[in-house]
Amino acid sequence: MKGFYLTRTEMGTILQTIRKQEMPDRILMKAIKRSGCKKEQLPTIFSKLSKASEGNFGLSINEIVTLGNQLEYASFRSTAVQNWVKRDIKDWIGAPQLGKKYAIEQAAILFIVEDLKNTHDFESIRLLLKFAFNNPADRNDDLIDPLAFYTAYSQLFEAIHKKVKPSKEDLRKQAMELSSIFTDLTEKQKKDIEKLLISAALSVQASYYQSLSKQYLEEVWK
């Protein structure tokens, strides 16, 4: 399965598709074709995704970790994620909402945390989660939808990733455009969300540089 990966925008689209109780085969086939691997070589979690249309779809921590590790420039560990849900972000992820399984929105929050921890401590991450998502047991009180936020900063990352050194003005314009999907916000809230999108996207960019640095170091020892 060497070479297979999902971009964050693809992951966001997959989660959006599953939430609609539809199958994400089109996105998966695009990633499979890009990698040159076969569908049978993918982790079994992808077989489970084909059942997304059969009702409420939940994911275990291990499944979230497996899925997250298909993301480019990401490195999930089950023990770390267990610590997040039991301690570090317990109040902002909440208990599993589908029996022992986590809802799609909860999985998105864990993906967000994985990205943010590249450049932020957990105190800062908790402040972001509190500001944007409020009570984890009630998605209706969210300032913005976790999955929409994840997808928006993923698109922002992919836009700035194409530039060696994006300017602050580039970042601001892109974030302003992407934040237009968040309706019913005050002007102040919209400006704050734009800044959070930029911060999250740059955190993913930092992960890219870490991954690239490790790659060059590993090549020395081959």
User: pLDDT band for position 1 (50/70/90)?
Assistant: very low
Cβ neighbors of 215 (< 8 A, separation 6 or more) are none
Q: What is the DSSP letter of 210?
A: H
User: pLDDT band for position 165 (50/70/90)?
Assistant: low
Give the Å distances, CA to CA, from 128 to 49, 141, 145, 201: 29, 15, 13, 14
Residue 149 has pLDDT above 60, yes or no: yes
HSE (side-chain half, CA atoms, 13 Å) at 9: 12
| DSSP letter for each residue of 68-92 | HTTBTT----HHHHHHIIIIITHHH
Which region among 26-35, 55-64, 121-130, 138-147 has the lowest average model confidence (pLDDT)?
Answer: 138-147
> Of residues 176 and 57, which shows the higher confidence score?
176
Which region among 40-49, 63-72, 83-92 has the lowest average model confidence (pLDDT)?
Answer: 40-49
Q: Nearest to residue 64, comparing CAs of 30, 28, 111?
A: 111
pLDDT of residue 67: 94
Q: Model confidence over 6-56: pLDDT tens digits?
A: 999 999 999 999 888 888 888 889 999 998 888 888 888 988 887 776 567
pLDDT of residue 193: 93
pLDDT of residue 188: 92
pLDDT of residue 88: 95
Q: Model confidence over 92-117: pLDDT tens digits?
A: 999 999 899 999 999 999 999 999 99
Mean pLDDT within 111-137: 90
Q: Are 1 and 42 in contact (CB under 8 A)?
A: yes
User: pLDDT band for position 70 (50/70/90)?
Assistant: very high
- Give the global pTM: 0.88
Any idea which residue has 């800062």 for tokens? 124
Which region among 28-42, 63-77, 128-142 has the lowest average model confidence (pLDDT)?
Answer: 128-142
Residue 2 has pLDDT above 70, yes or no: no
